[in-house]
Amino acid sequence: MTEPSSNPGMPGLPPKTTCMTARNPAGQRYLALFLPFLPTEILRASGRIPASAGPDSPPLVLVEMQRGAMRLASVDARGLALGLHPGMTLADARARLPGLPVYPADPARDVAALSVLAAESEMFTPMVALDPPHGLMLDITGCAHLFGGEAGLMRRIRHRFRQRGHAPVLALAPTPDAARALARFGGADCLSAVAAETRALPVAALEAGEEVLLALNRAGLKDLAALEACPPGVLAARFGAGLVTKLRRVLGQDNARITPLRHLPECLAERHFPEPLLAFDAVLALVRRLAGDLVQMLEARGEGGRRFELSLFRSDGQVRRLVVETGHACRDPEVIERLFALRIETLADPIDPGFGFDSVRLAVLASEAFGQVQPDFDGHRLEDLALEDLIDRLSTRFGAARVLRAEAEDTHDPVRAARFVPAQRGAVTLLWPEPEPGEGPRRPIRLFDPPQAIEALAEVPDGPPLRFRWRRVLHEVARAEGPERIAPEWWRVEAGTLARDYYRIEDAEGRRFWVFRQGFYGHSGQPPRWFLHGLFA
């Protein structure tokens, strides 16, 4: 991670931009974020239940069917203080608190809310993963100094989540398993640098199951320090190698890493604001500055960007992401800014700054080798670049699926000889066949779909037509060339599919047609039929 100091400041914006290019494999730091009361906090924030009136108000309890009985799925802090806990049967809970109101649990709603919080947490690091139940795991390696160190980062995250009505428990550790164990079984926030804090955790922090936990307790192994003192071979023989591996990970001796929700970009540049940014025009100006920082990183790698993503983190937790693509490797900040401006103009749901943006990030999602452009003598290369820029603008404005080009296919079937693909797609792999010198095209550019039936009269049964009627107009054939026999592809043969004899014909008025006869005389009970498949220019 680097911070270029040569980037001049902008009016109303802090001068520093954060740029990320690679990750340091050593000295990993993970932050576990545990939300023990997430389901009840979501339900309370929805406004579907009355607000707590005071200390005598009933606790908030969610229930679901578990193991053949209605049990408590989640309780709030007041419920825990009154002796309720998840897994307790509803009958036992109401024996303690008669008339206890309960609400149905909704795991899908909880997962959706957690995914929204994960997207918001990407403003702190692009490496964010879900840590069920009710938790997130953040790889903050190399990110903490942007927020005043690890303690400052934890304060920032804690304040942001409390603004959303959540009570998070945070823990830092060198491995994800250690951070998870500290957050869920440590009882309070933990800023851990070594494994000393994890050794004092109960053996339940291994989350190895009720039977294993009961056996460890019966053996007098109450905490991880006592478990670490046991020979690994004995533990593996009694409880399996998985318990030993889990113990090493919780103690910070083995790193399992995390799989983020979104792929890590090739490189990114971002800017955080001490006060929310309200002016949207300043955001567009900032995009160009961030693009300039990305160009420096791409130049160092000898690459250019093909796919760019702009992430806008609003102060209320909403995240808007915009993606633009280019048809060739791009290193021009002005082009990147213009494409994002076009993308924003065409949004069906305009971007609302709301209370402002806390952070703006520009990332390169895809890149490729960048070749320097040298103008040729006839200027065709510059014309090609201008055409590619036009395709980029049109694709950004109307959508890549609406700006298409024809691509040749390796087949002799004229119906499948071409397909339409997005015009921004990479280099053409199969070229169109070139006509012989002095010869016209063998096939028309546009075909009728489906071919149009015609009435034709031929001099001999298998010869070209002498005249044909199409759309009530009779055409006298002056010249004909063919036949070109095209049989269906054997792996696509369907019942009733016949071979075709194609002819290029020209009528007395100079109009040229591409017709075919389907079937042959005497080969079946029905006579062959004639069709017009295309027109030559």
Which uninterrupted H or E stretch holds 7? Answer: none
Quick one: pLDDT at residue 254? 85
- Looking at the fold, whether 159 and 284 belong to one and the same domain comes out as no
pLDDT grade for 387, boundaries at 50, 70 and 90: confident
- Looking at the fold, whether 246 and 289 belong to one and the same domain comes out as no
Here the tokens at position 120 are 């918001």
- Listing DSSP states for 106-172 in one string gives -HHHHHHHHHHHHHHHTTT-S-EEE-SSSEEEEE-TTTGGGGTHHHHHHHHHHHHHHHTT---EEEE
To the nearest whole number, what is the mean pLDDT of the chain? Answer: 85
Q: What's 324's domain CATH number?
A: 3.30.1490.100
Higher pLDDT pick, 61 / 522: 61
- Looking at the fold, whether 214 and 296 belong to one and the same domain comes out as no
Here the tokens at position 63 are 């229930």
Q: What's 167's domain CATH number?
A: 3.30.70.270
Mean pLDDT of 55-72: 87
Give the structural domain span for 495: 447-535
Quick one: pLDDT at residue 52? 59
Q: CB atoms < 10 A from the CB of 274, how many?
A: 6
Residue 221 belongs to a domain? yes
Q: Which amino acid is at 372?
A: Q
Residue 148 belongs to a domain? yes
- Looking at the fold, whether 244 and 113 belong to one and the same domain comes out as yes
pLDDT higher than 90, residue 143: no
Boundary-marking domain end, from 372, 389, 406: 389
- Looking at the fold, whether 238 and 280 belong to one and the same domain comes out as no
Tens digits of per-residue pLDDT, 85-132? 999 999 999 999 998 989 999 999 999 999 999 999 999 999 999 999
Higher pLDDT pick, 508 / 494: 508
Contact 458, 440 (CB under 8 A): no
Contact 515, 502 (CB under 8 A): yes
User: For the chain, how many structural domains are there in total?
Assistant: 3
- Looking at the fold, whether 310 and 237 belong to one and the same domain comes out as no
Maximum CA pair distance of the chain? 105
- Looking at the fold, whether 334 and 286 belong to one and the same domain comes out as yes
Closest CA to 520 of 503, 504, 502, 500: 500
Residue 10 belongs to a domain? no
Quick one: pLDDT at residue 8? 34
- Listing DSSP states for 501-514 in one string gives EEEEEEETTS-EEE
Here the tokens at position 470 are 């199409």
Here the tokens at position 115 are 């995914």
Residue 230 belongs to a domain? yes
- Looking at the fold, whether 236 and 278 belong to one and the same domain comes out as no
Distance CA 62, CA 73 (A): 6
Rounded to 10 degrees, the C-alpha dihedral 296/299/305/308 comes to: -10
Q: Which amino acid is at 101?
A: P
Mean pLDDT of 175-196: 80
Cis peptide preceding 133, ω within 30 of 0: yes
Using only C-alpha atoms, what is the Rg of the chain? Answer: 34
138-165 burial by CB neighbour count: b if 16+ within 10 A, else e? bbbbbbbebbeebeebbebbbebbeebe
Torsional class of 425: left (φ above 0), alpha (ψ -120 to 50), beta (otherwise): beta
Mean pLDDT of 267-285: 88
Here the tokens at position 152 are 């400052």
Distance CA 253, CA 235 (A): 17
Residue 509 belongs to a domain? yes
Residue 457 belongs to a domain? yes
- Looking at the fold, whether 324 and 277 belong to one and the same domain comes out as yes
Distance CA 423, CA 384 (A): 13
Closest CA to 41 of 147, 113, 136, 139: 113
Higher pLDDT pick, 155 / 381: 155
Closest CA to 69 of 53, 91, 86: 91
Here the tokens at position 168 are 């998070």
Q: Which amino acid is at 106?
A: D
- Looking at the fold, whether 318 and 371 belong to one and the same domain comes out as yes
Q: Which residues contact 473 (CB under 8 A, 6 or more apart)?
A: none
Contact 123, 111 (CB under 8 A): no
Higher pLDDT pick, 473 / 407: 473
Mean pLDDT of 402-410: 85
Cis peptide preceding 107, ω within 30 of 0: no
- Looking at the fold, whether 186 and 315 belong to one and the same domain comes out as no
Mean pLDDT of 194-206: 81
Higher pLDDT pick, 46 / 456: 456
Tallying the residues shown for the chain, one arrives at: 537
Residue 419 belongs to a domain? no
pTM > 0.85: no
Boundary-marking domain end, from 215, 250, 285: 250
Boundary-marking domain end, from 360, 389, 418: 389
pLDDT higher than 90, residue 364: yes
Quick one: pLDDT at residue 429? 64
- Residue for token pair 């997207």: 119
Residue 307 belongs to a domain? yes
- Looking at the fold, whether 459 and 521 belong to one and the same domain comes out as yes
Mean pLDDT of 422-435: 72
Quick one: pLDDT at residue 469? 96
- Residue for token pair 């592809």: 489
Distance CA 404, CA 418 (A): 12
Distance CA 16, CA 8 (A): 8
